[in-house]
């Protein structure tokens, strides 16, 4: 599990619970809940197709998934491959196996004799399509982050109308309507700022990390095909890392 995601959710909801003073029932309103979450759900179904929505659970799972490849490890693997290719020839890479499917695919193409320009085109297209797939998940949660406060405002307006309609009458009904109005805004703000927007940002961050790794692989494979000295190739690839990260290679 991704410890940072768990800690973030734990802190956020603990703070909210602390501010509620332990009286959670006071901050519950089924009317506000239905307006905010029902409206958010309806808007999301309207914006995306069933295929995208069916992948939501998997998308959320990526936020809490602990395993993410380090660029340092990829660079080390590519450097080893460059040494093998330099010593025994490109066909020797046929015996090399790696858990990174993108790198494995690139190696297989090298062994099959694909020319560098064609291989570069194929790999960049693969990366571009991956970015588009990731973009769907990012924009889905970004749109939820925009819709949640808006639906909270809708609930607030409904509650205000009900409150104004009961002024001069039952003060209990006025108080209930005012509570619904405020809680709807509260629910919308919590969902947007504690859940959907942070998930969207983290998905975007993870997508960028994977793009960097794939760019390293493309540059590394090009270097291997061109016969670049393994030490020179490693130095070139390390330029993508921060000085602190380079020390761990």
- Tell me the pLDDT tens digit for each residue of 73-91: 999 999 999 999 999 888 9
CA 214 to CA 31: how far, in whole Å?
48
Q: In 10 A of CB 135, how many CB atoms?
A: 14
Mean pLDDT, rounded, for 96-122: 91
CA 209 to CA 34: how far, in whole Å?
37
Model confidence over 188-234: pLDDT tens digits?
999 999 999 999 999 999 899 899 999 999 999 999 999 999 999 99
pLDDT at 242 (0 to 100): 83
CA 183 to CA 31: how far, in whole Å?
9
Locate all alpha helices (DSSP H) within the chain, ordered by sequence.
3-19, 30-33, 39-47, 50-54, 56-63, 71-88, 101-111, 116-165, 171-191, 197-226, 230-238, 243-246
Mean pLDDT, rounded, for 30-46: 93
Give SS3 for 21: coil
Q: Tell me if 71 sits within 8 A of 213, measured CB to CB.
A: yes
- Helix (H) or strand (E) holding 55, with range, is none
Q: How many CA atoms lie within 13 A of 170 on its CB side?
A: 5
pTM: 0.83
């Amino acid at each position: 599990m991704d410890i940072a995601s768990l800690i973030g959710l734990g802190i956020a909801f603990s703070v909210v619970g602390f501010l509620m003073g332990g009286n959670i029932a006071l901050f519950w309103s089924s009317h506000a809940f239905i307006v905010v979450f029902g409206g958010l759900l309806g808007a999301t179904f309207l914006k995306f197709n069933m295929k995208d929505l069916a992948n939501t659970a998997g998308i959320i799972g990526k936020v809490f998934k602990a395993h993410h490849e380090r660029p340092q490890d990829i660079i080390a693997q590519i450097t080893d491959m460059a040494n093998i290719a330099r010593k025994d020839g490109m066909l020797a890479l046929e015996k090399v196996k790696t858990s990174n499917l993108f790198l494995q695919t690139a190696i297989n193409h090298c062994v099959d004799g694909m020319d560098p320009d064609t291989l570069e085109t194929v790999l960049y297209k693969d990366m571009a399509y991956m970015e588009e797939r990731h973009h769907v998940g990012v924009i889905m949660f970004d749109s939820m982050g925009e819709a949640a406060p808006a639906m909270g405002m809708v609930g607030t307006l409904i509650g205000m109308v009900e409150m104004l309609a009961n002024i001069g009458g039952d003060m209990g009904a006025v108080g209930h309507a005012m509570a619904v109005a405020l809680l709807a805004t509260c629910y919308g703000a919590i969902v947007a700022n504690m859940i959907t927007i942070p998930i969207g940002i983290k998905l975007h961050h993870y997508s960028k990390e994977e793009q960097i790794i794939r760019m390293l692989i493309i540059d590394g494979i090009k270097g291997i095909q061109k016969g670049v000295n393994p030490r020179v190739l490693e130095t070139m690839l390390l330029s993508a890392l921060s000085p602190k990260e380079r020390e761990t290679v």
